[in-house]
Structure 1
């Protein structure tokens, strides 16, 4: 195992709160150990699979929708939990993370360890900028992701 850690901020900053993943990645710069790969993705499955190729630990940061909605609430999901969420409730993207994980499993391209840090969103309409409630969750979200990265690096792989 390489010990390679990849953090992927999934989302679109031009869709309001859907930009939380990319915003978290930007906030992480300088806060994680050297060698940690920080990347942004629009959530397209082939690009995600390429980003986490040869990684021992993948940390995905993204927006989440649940019913009933609790904007600003943070969630940490295992790959199994993320894969179990239905597209309509879990991801803000047309092809959700659950479907991407199913594809990765079918292609035998799941990373050995994957965790998802997500924040429930208030607004994913067109327009830049996070809502106040989601912006206020960004510091704790970033702290949680940074802690996951540190644990993975300390253990050579584990979250």
Structure 2
């Protein structure tokens, strides 16, 4: 019998900056789903190098974040590759490709990684997602579930 594929979903962002909190809002909703034991969900403020340990232990990594760009509320799905040039072990800012590079450098393996983003309308100080971004949540949640099911 083939080994069950393991998946880690990380939603990240600042919930006190309106749409920047998208990743955490999505992660909190996904934590309420009755996933198989092979799926874990985390909500964090930002990607950090210490997440490389968790990333090294799974087959698939799904990252969820708000993005800056036009048009607001546009949904993007992107496959991420490790980028050694982006990896700075002394940096406080870690991109998805730098996280994968750290995972490879420290643990010798990387998961398949997908980044899902929705373009923010507002990153001003305040709680809650803008209505236009919140309206895209059902589609984003379905995309995440489809990725997990495809694993």
Question: Does residue 61 of structure 2 align to residue 58 of structure 1?
Answer: yes
CA distance in 2, matches of 1:122, 1:98: 25
Partner of 1:43: 46
Deviations 1:111-145 (A, max 9, x none): 33111111111111211110111111111001100
Larger CA Rg, structure 1 vs 2: 2
- TM-score, structure 1 as length reference: 0.76
Matches within 5 A, 1:1-159: 3-31=5-33, 33-35=35-37, 36-66=39-69, 69-80=70-81, 94-108=93-107, 111-152=110-151
Instruction: Quote the offset at 1:30 in angstroms.
Output: 4.1
Q: What residue ranges of structure 1 are gaps of 5+ in the alignment?
A: 88-92, 153-159
C-alpha contact (below 8 Å) 1:75/1:119 kept by paired residues: yes
Partner of 2:89: none
Any idea what SS the aligned residue of 1:59 has? strand
CA distance in 1, matches of 2:138, 2:4: 29
Instruction: Flag the 1:137–1:110 CA change in 2: closer, same or farther, 3 A.
Output: farther
- TM-score, structure 2 as length reference: 0.79
Instruction: Flag the structure with higher helix content.
Output: 1
Instruction: Quote the offset at 1:94 in angstroms.
Output: 4.8
CA distance in 1, matches of 2:4, 2:49: 22
Deviations 1:53-85 (A, max 9, x none): 31111111111123xx211010000013xx68x
Instruction: Quote the offset at 1:33 in angstroms.
Output: 2.4
Instruction: Flag the 1:108–1:76 CA change in 2: closer, same or farther, 3 A.
Output: same
CA distance in 2, matches of 1:8, 1:30: 14
Any idea what SS the aligned residue of 2:58 has? coil
